């Protein structure tokens, strides 16, 4: 079955460490997105990518980095520069054009806790 796989589901990090969250999709979607979810807040866009080897900053990109070397993969690195990284991170994908554009398929999420 097609879908999005995020890993790890839970991750603990010490302050000052970089961590990378994995996102893989087999839906043949061009567009991929990373969102951050905090209690009581809506999902906020960190980075998005419309095609391989291209990505754009979202609303809260500071302290994060991404790469898009393959269509299926869009890993997110939470760097030590991110001041408050404890959050729930969601990866999503969609087609880039047509009826399915902006109909997002979500991964199950990764919960990052900084100790």
Between 72 and 107, name the residue whose CB sits nearer to another protein. Answer: 107
108 scored as a contact of another protein (CB under 8 A): yes
What six digits make up the tokens of 86? 């404890």
Of residues 42, 84, 98, 115, which one binds another protein by CB under 8 A? 42
Asked if 48 and 34 touch (Cβ cutoff 8 Å), the reply is yes
Question: Which residues, 52 to 91, sit near another protein by CB under 8 A?
Answer: 56, 58, 88, 90
Between 58 and 80, name the residue whose CB sits nearer to another protein. Answer: 58
Kindly state the smallest distance separating residue 113's Cβ from another protein, in Å.
Answer: 14
Q: What is the DSSP string of the chain?
A: ---EEEE-SEEEE-TT--EEEEEEE-S--SEEEEEEE-TTS--EEEEEEEETTEEEE-TT-TTEEE--SBTTB--EEE-TT-S---EEEEEEEEBSSSTTBT--EE---EEEEE-
Kindly state the smallest distance separating residue 35's Cβ from another protein, in Å.
Answer: 8
Kindly state the smallest distance separating residue 16's Cβ from another protein, in Å.
Answer: 26
Between 20 and 56, name the residue whose CB sits nearer to another protein. Answer: 56
């Amino acid at each position: 079955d097609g879908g999005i796989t995020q890993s790890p589901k839970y991750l603990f990090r010490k302050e000052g460490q970089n961590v990378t969250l994995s996102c893989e999709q087999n839906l043949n979607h061009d567009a991929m997105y990373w969102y951050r979810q905090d209690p009581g807040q809506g999902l906020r866009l960190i980075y998005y990518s419309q095609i391989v080897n291209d990505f754009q900053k979202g609303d809260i990109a500071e302290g994060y980095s991404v790469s898009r070397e393959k269509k299926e993969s869009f890993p997110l690195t939470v760097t030590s520069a991110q001041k408050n990284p404890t959050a729930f991170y969601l990866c999503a994908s969609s087609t880039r054009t047509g009826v399915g554009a902006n109909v997002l398929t979500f991964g199950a999420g990764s919960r990052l806790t900084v100790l």
